[in-house]
Amino acid sequence: MKTSTKSTNSHGTNNDNDTGQKRILVVDDHPMLRKGVIDLLQLEEDLAAVGEASSGEEALTITREYEPDLILLDLNMKGMDGIETIKALRSQDIFSRIVIFSVSDNPDCIREAINAGADGYILKDSEPEELVSLVRQGVSGQFVVSDKVDEILRTQDAEKECGSAEPRPDASALTYREKQILSLIANGMSNKMIARELNIAEGTVKVHVKNLLKKLKFRSRVEAAIWAMENDLK
């Protein structure tokens, strides 16, 4: 378990919140890859690696202690893998953004990660500029995917549409308020953030989310967010 040496205090924690930098935790079981990503992030004035972890278990410990804004998480690790780590983080009410960083472009792996609660999916063969851009978008609250992942998801959805008699989700069935909330979900907002944005109670938001998921026949808000993005409903 290591924490960043950039702008640290006597306790070894990163002071980047004081400078407005967004705090990133890099979780991967390959030391060289972690170092490369951290070195890349340290070049950006608005981003800082608060630490690194080689396993899901370490990620849980560091996240509880340092509260990073975004966790860049490997999917395939020994012991607790990326999916298990996401579920463990979410079960502990950790609200850091979680973005998968993986070599796998398997559609099933991508969907599983998203359904588990990931806020994005970036491929490890992404260009450095794309990685930094997506991380920056991720910490700002957006749902992020590599261009190739976006293409894979769109292709898979098109194939399902052609090979299935099931009706497609229909946004026209939603009320104006539900469409508003769907758009904000697609922009990565939590229920609390949506409530603040629309000046309504968080409980009211939860009711609207439940209703729109039922109407669109989605199992999770993440599925709804992806569908909204793919259909330009943001």
Residue ending a domain, choose from 148, 176, 197: 148
**Do 63 and 7 fall into the same domain?**
yes
pLDDT in tens, 8-32: 333 334 444 556 899 999 999 999 9
pLDDT in tens, 122-175: 999 999 999 999 999 999 888 899 989 988 887 766 555 545 545 567 788 889
CA distance 108 to 104: 10
Residue 213 lies in a domain: yes
Domain that holds residue 171: 162-230
pLDDT in tens, 61-76: 999 999 999 999 999 9
Residue 153 lies in a domain: no
CA distance 205 to 211: 10
Structural domain total, the chain: 2
Instruction: Specify the pTM.
Output: 0.70
